[in-house]
Amino acid sequence: MSEVTVADEATATPPSGKGLGTSPAHIADPRIRQEYQRAFVWAITIGAVALTVYLSSALLAIFGAMVFAAMIDGGARVLGRVLPIGRGWRVGIVLLATLIFLAWLGRFAGSTISQEAAQFPAIIQQQLTSLVAWARSQGFEISTDQINNLAGTMSSGLGTVTRAVGGIVGGLTTALLIAIIGIYISLEPKLYERGVAWMLPEEKRSGFYQTVKRMGYTMRRLMAGRLLGMAFEAAFTYVMLAWIAPLVVGAPVPMAALLAILTGLLAFVPNLGAIISGMLMVLVGFSGGVDMGVYTIVVYLLVQNFDGYIVVPMIAKKTVDLAPALVLAMQLIMGILFGLIGLLLADPLLAMIKVALERRAETNAEGEKSENMLQAAGGA
């Protein structure tokens, strides 16, 4: 009878036929293992969402800086076509022009606009009184308390809009942080692209660069269309209300300058901005009579249709092409969660999500095509 050495015992196979290398936590059943992997993915996803919500304010400020950098980058690229100078100089020219415009706007707003804005509550109260009188003549029962509550609500709402517009210009700490980060990104965009790509696996970097390139192109086109639309709406509104109105209805529309600037600024927020500016324009227009009110309605329709069907499609619609209902839903969600800054950044964020999903679909399609070609070659 032969003796079994210690080495033989160490290398012997257990009676069950399974090796000793299997982990005690190993799940043999493939179905249970698949469910475990799925639960793990869901846990990671929920954790990532919770972390994103926790850091949402900081992340939104960083994204706002990227949007601002895209605006600066677009202006620098346009200057590069006519001025053979370095990128830093072109970025400096764009920033200087922006500061000059904001200084002019602040000075203009401090004199003319502030006086006109003080007339808004009185005009609203007057228009509401006229509207209620007409409603009562048609048989509707409206109490005085309801009138006062509605007037107070609209006055506070207009005050909120005015404060919000001022907050965009003077946005204190958050706006200053967004501007500083945006300037740094616009000066050396490739530096930050390489920094993010360095954290990715090497095989993912090529796709990342392509995605970032398309996102940058889309963002520049979107912002170019938005800024051009804002400038057009402000200029066209002022011309129609201050210069053309005396020829049509015999007098300029009151507060034409204020309405023009509000229309231009609110044009940055698609859909909702047009509704707010249109309501303000029509309210002020009817304060000058029925003819002037009808005229402001015509002006509003002309501005929105020309901008929506001619200006924006030429610049951005072919590149972005976002469904209006989807944009409204995104604005509603971002506005509720993050307030004014969320409302302003809802459209650019949705555009970037759309680009990322399109790139992912293209990558998956390319992978499936390569796999099918390999299978066909192997079968042959």
**What pLDDT shows up at residue 145?**
60
Q: What is the pLDDT of residues 351-378, one digit of tens each?
A: 999 999 999 898 888 878 877 887 777 7
Q: What is the pLDDT of residues 211-227, one digit of tens each?
A: 999 999 999 988 888 88
Q: What is the count of structural domains for the chain? A: 1
Q: Is residue 164 within 8 Å of 183, Cβ to Cβ?
A: no
The one-letter code for the residue type at 7 is A
- Length, in residues, of the chain: 380
**What pLDDT shows up at residue 377?**
76
In a domain, 289, yes or no: yes
Q: Is residue 242 within 8 Å of 257, Cβ to Cβ?
A: yes
Burial readout 168-205 (b: 16 or more C-beta within 10 A, e: otherwise): eeebeeebebbbebbbebbbebeeebeeeeeeeeeeeb
Cα–Cα dist 93/74, whole Å: 12
In a domain, 51, yes or no: no
Q: Is the pTM of this model over 0.85?
A: no
Cα–Cα dist 121/143, whole Å: 20
**What pLDDT shows up at residue 186?**
92
In a domain, 16, yes or no: no
In a domain, 148, yes or no: yes
Q: What is the pLDDT of residues 67-78, one digit of tens each?
A: 999 999 999 999
Residue 143 has pLDDT above 70, yes or no: no
In a domain, 145, yes or no: yes
In a domain, 91, yes or no: yes
In a domain, 193, yes or no: yes
Cα–Cα dist 110/20, whole Å: 82
Instruction: Give the closest residue to 77 by CA, choosing from 90, 65, 88, 89.
Output: 90
**What pLDDT shows up at residue 364?**
85
Residue 160 has pLDDT above 60, yes or no: no
**What pLDDT shows up at residue 6?**
45
